[in-house]
Amino acid sequence: MPGDLGEERRDIVDETIAAAAIRWFDANARDLPWRHPDAGAWAILVSEVMLQQTPVTRVLPAYEAWLARWPTPAALAGDEPGEAIRMWGRLGYPRRALRLHECATAIAERHGGVVPDDLDPLLALPGVGAYTARAVAAFAYRQRQPVVDTNVRRFVARAVAGAADGGHTTRPADLTATAALLPAEPALAARASAAFMELGAVVCVARTPRCTMCPVADRCAWRAAGRPAQGGPSRRTQTYTGTDRQVRGLLLAVLREAVEPVPRARLDVVWPEPIQRDRALRGLIDDGLVDPLPGDVFALPRG
């Protein structure tokens, strides 16, 4: 029966990792509003969309202002999509605001204004991918779902596989490895998912991991292997200055602050290079973030 014993032993180790992570999380987790018991599924969905590629410190004020204005999906769905872009401010990647508006409209029309609690209808919402759907199912509805982002991939890769990093994208193997760590009881599994994410964000960080603070350091495969370096080329840091993304942000800033449609002449002054400026403006129009109006004027979309 050696095979059965091996499976049983892995279950014990995996469960212990989750239990240690949850104990640490209960004592050390950051006090974030979307983690409060009264944070509903809509608030959690908004937070997950805002937190994509954006630090917590930048998200907090935007999140609070957003929910103060649109506390329900129906409230956002009843407003113009351009207002969502305006409220998004300087969070970056403003298409997320447009997708969130589309998502709110779908929730209002298909689900009676209530964020669905099943994975398939969550995945069917506009702009909601595999990670966001599982995060809402786990954190809002206390379901047993492997919630895997960059931080979780790194934590699981180190603790279980002994690798320095979990890679740049989530693969089916990452979901399987994370699911194997989750307790069987759904609410406890959801707590473990939050704990893994927090550990990856503040302790098991990419460049300077704080192993002495880690609750699973004594059973971490990466630490036991001597913390081997990551193999292969490192991921290049994305630049911002001088890119089309910067120009798009400058153009949107003018439109967000304007009450009336903006003539092209006002947009021309935000960037000196006309070819790049026109390319950025065309990109905003193609993405549905800007509406061109008669008379060579531009505005945020109104519906």
Buried b (16+ CB within 10 A) or exposed e, 173-192: ebbebbbbbbbeebebbbbb
Report which of 176, 174, 175, 188 is spatially closest to residue 144, judged by C-alpha positions: 188
Tokens of 183: 């307790």
* Torsion of the alpha carbons at 253, 256, 259 and 261, rounded to the nearest 10: 70
| Backbone φ, ψ for residue 45 (5° rounding) | -60, -45
Is residue 48 annotated as a catalytic residue, yes or no? yes
Q: Which of 48, 83, 102, 198 is catalytic?
A: 48
Please list the active-site residues.
Answer: 48
